[in-house]
Amino acid sequence: MNYFIGRGIDNLLTGIEQAQINRLKLFKKNQIPAQIISFNYSRDTHKKAAVYGLDKQDLCNMFDYYQQSRLVNVHALTVASVRPKGTESELVGFEQDLAAVNCVKNRHVVCQIRYIQLTGQVQQVLWTNQSGKIDHTDSYDERGFFARRSWLDLVGNIKLETYYTPAGKEAITIKYRNYEKLDTEKIKLASGETFDSFNDLKNDFLQKLDAEEISTFFLDREFDPVTFRDMNLAGKRISVIHNAHVGYEETMATEVNKIAEQAGKKERFKPALAYYDRLLQHPGNIDAFLVSTEAQKKDIQKSYPDTKPVFVVPVGFNLNLPSPIELQRRDLYQVIIVSRISPEKGISDAIAAFISVWKQVPQARLVIYGGANGEVSRDYLKQMNEQIIAAGAQNAIRFAGFRHNLKKMYDRSGLFVMTSHSESFNLSMQEALSHGVPVLAYDIKYGPSDMISNGSNGVLVKPNDVNELTVQMKRLLSQPQLLGHMSDGAYRLRKKYSGEIVWRDYQQVIAFLDNQDTVID
């Protein structure tokens, strides 16, 4: 089995999760078994995964594993099936896609049942004590079984959780010192095994998977890289490098602190530990590293001549090539950005350049796709909205939020802009080019210069040079014929990032591992 270790499938995917999904589909297309590993509990993981064309056989969640619920089918679970006997239902109200009813007996609210309005599927039951306070909650998996009971202390903090199998047997019991910080006092499995922390439980989970069959583990994120390197595993280990291997942490901290300072916040962020640098210097049990560009591979081999083999396997590729769109069907004045809303993505630079261009090319419009997750991202989004309002450009620039399928948006657009301060590839840029959208990008490490041939399918600009970015954006939006020429060039790049070509890259990795006396099924 090939396991891809990451955060799992959520409503707001980042490029790393999308890269995992791409890789999974490529492996499946070539009849190589693979699953995406995740560690966090989510009642609707399988529902979210289905949006991206994944099924239950594609996922390997830690809680599913211990709850013996990996392959459970969906069945209906209605209010009537969980309402306590002898109670009457009183509708409380609606919030977004949820509805709530109180179950009342002798004027006392015994519990409140929350369910999805559209399907009637029960999500949660909140149980009250004689004082009317909630003392525990029951959570139901979206597939229709009682999955978790959470007990609360006197101030409403979770102190104890028990997770159940679909058959109703206890699977995991977790006692917390501090739930918000996931600080656990004790974790106990049905087998009697105990652990001090979630990290210990994660280790046990991977080691149990490792013992079931000979496997290869691809570490994308969400697991301590040093532990991954040092832990006792029989299977092979691959570290997938998704950022610049040096400097990314400092860049991230610098950009985040700028936003914090502008928001009037005193707290400052220190750079995270540079795990890629640490693993490259001391690879230990890591068998190979994967990067997306030849440029990053060369830099790694130069800086770490004694590290383990480095393979170039792009995270972005097309399983099925999009059909070319005639130029007249595009809105050549529509500029798009597809990016997570985060300071290191440099979106405010693109907005500043666009505002200057829009004042001279009033037909131009900018649409920004991407979600803001976390306080820093929301502060950044707020500041950019203030930037737009100050320029009076509310009708020309809009944030469209996260979308999981942007094919139609790419096919309607005339120009894609990328102004990140640091990347290792940029999946969205490859997607745009594959749909024939020319790209205007900062020439950062890594990715843009591998995909963009200056003047052929896009334009590269010196990083952080907003003035030059403005000049080139105006030039492109003022010359439809030039954009049409570059659109043709963008389409020509698609073969380089076809699924067939990238699968050959993976075959080289597989052959290397086979020669290391480990078999990939």
Mean pLDDT of the chain: 94
Contact predicate 151/138, CB 8 Å: no
Contact 499, 318 (CB under 8 A): yes
- Whether 226 is in a domain gets the answer yes
Q: What is the CATH number of the domain that holds 131?
A: 3.90.930
pLDDT at 26 over 90: yes
Q: What is the pLDDT of residue 520?
A: 39
* Rounded-to-integer distance, Cα 140 and Cα 249, Å: 39
How confident is the model at residue 518, as a pLDDT? 44
pTM over 0.75: yes
pLDDT, mean of residues 419-440: 96
User: Within a domain: residue 520?
Assistant: no
Q: How many C-beta atoms lie closer than 10 Å to residue 441's C-beta?
A: 27
222-237: pLDDT as tens digits: 999 999 999 999 999 9
Q: Among the three residues 267, 287, 312, which one is the final residue of a domain in this structure?
A: 312
Q: Where are the beta strands (DSSP E) in 70-207?
A: 88-95, 98-105, 108-116, 122-128, 134-140, 146-152, 158-164, 170-178, 183-189, 194-195
User: Which parts of 402-445 fold into alpha helices (H)?
Assistant: 407-412, 427-434
Task: Give me the domain span that covers residue 419.
Answer: 327-498
Identify whether the C-beta of residue 290 lies closer than 8 Å to the C-beta of residue 311. yes
Domain boundary among 141, 163, 196: 196
Sheet with strand 108-116: strands edge to edge: 88-95, 98-105, 108-116, 122-128, 134-140, 146-152, 158-164, 170-178, 183-189, 194-195
Query: What pLDDT sits at residue 377?
Result: 94
341 and 461: one domain?
A: yes
Q: Does residue 39 fall inside a structural domain?
A: yes
With a CB cutoff of 8 Å and minimum separation 6, the contacts of 520 are 2, 32, 216, 510, 513, 514
- Average pLDDT of the segment spanning 75-96: 94
Q: Is the pLDDT of residue 358 over 80?
A: yes
Q: Are residues 154 and 205 in the same domain?
A: no
The fraction of the chain above a pLDDT of 70, given in percent, is: 99
On whether both 390 and 488 belong to a single domain, the answer is: yes
**Where residue 206 falls among pLDDT bands split at 50, 70, 90?**
very high
Q: Are residues 305 and 336 in the same domain?
A: no
- The reply to whether 207 and 144 lie within a common domain is no
Note whether residue 504 is domain-resident. Answer: no
- List pLDDT tens digits, range 88-134: 999 999 988 999 999 999 999 999 999 999 999 999 999 999 888 99
CA 69 to centroid of chain Cα atoms: 23
* Residues 165 and 303 grouped into a single domain: no
For the record, the structure tokens of 487 come out as 């659109």
Specify if 405 maps to a domain: yes
Report yes or no on 434 lying in a domain.
yes
Do residues 112 and 217 both lie within one domain? no
Last residue of a domain, one of 171, 196, 221: 196
Q: pLDDT by residue (tens digit) across 255-267?
A: 988 898 888 887 7
* pLDDT tops 50 at residue 519: no
Q: Are residues 60 and 109 in the same domain?
A: no
Q: What pLDDT sits at residue 491?
A: 95
User: Where does the pLDDT of residue 426 fall: very low under 50, low under 70, confident under 90, or very high at 90 and above?
Assistant: very high
pLDDT score for 521: 38
Q: Within 13 A of 21's CA, how many CA atoms are on the CB side?
A: 21
What is the number of domains present in the chain? 3
Residue 18 lies in a domain: yes
Q: What local confidence, expressed as pLDDT, does residue 274 receive?
A: 80
Distance of CA 457 to the CA centre of its chain: 28
What integer pLDDT is reported at residue 517 of this predicted model? Answer: 58
Residue 234: give its domain's CATH number.
3.40.50.2000
- Residue 342 confidence (pLDDT) above 60: yes
- Quick one: average pLDDT of 270-274? 76
pLDDT tens track for 130-149? 888 999 999 999 999 999 99
Q: Are residues 165 and 84 in the same domain?
A: yes
Do 84 and 39 lie in a common domain? no
Identify the pLDDT of residue 354.
98
Nearest Cα to Cα of residue 520 among 171, 1, 82:
1
Distance between CA atoms of residues 423 and 469, nearest Å = 18
Same domain, 490 and 375: yes
Within a domain: residue 320? Answer: no
Same domain, 221 and 366: no
